[in-house]
Amino acid sequence: MLEMRLYLAQRISAAILAPLVLMHLGLMIYAIQGGLDAGEILGRTRGSFFWGSSYSLFVVAVAVHATIGLRNILREWLQWRGPLLHWFSWLCLAGLLFAGLRAVAAVVLP
């Protein structure tokens, strides 16, 4: 029942992502006016528990969601199977988690 587990993980991560993506889109539209400035951004994110926790959750959910989505594409459009598909998926998950949490840490940790 692997595909069912992945389906559920995909949909649950989607439900978690929905409000976070809305927040992110709102933030981008708000912040883009007048251009982006590192000082402005980091001034708000550094030391913020709120931004740290919401974007960490965002990263975990997106790592799961994007990996499963990409896996579907590789399976259906490139016909990847077996160990190739399996190990690439884990690599993708690990890569997104690592790079994502590192990025959150970079902007949040004081």
Q: How far is CA 94 from CA 36, 57, 62, 91, 98, in A?
A: 29, 15, 12, 5, 6
Give phi and psi for 16, each to the nearest 5.
-70, -40
Please report whether residue 86 would count as binding other proteins according to CB under 8 A: no
CB of 48 to other proteins, least distance (A): 14
Return phi, psi of residue 43, to 5°. -60, -30
Q: What is the binding site for other proteins (CB under 8 A)?
A: 1-4, 6-8, 11, 14-15, 17-18, 21-22, 24-25, 28-29, 32-33, 35-39, 41-42, 62, 66, 69-70, 73, 75-77, 79, 95-96, 99-100, 102-104, 106-107
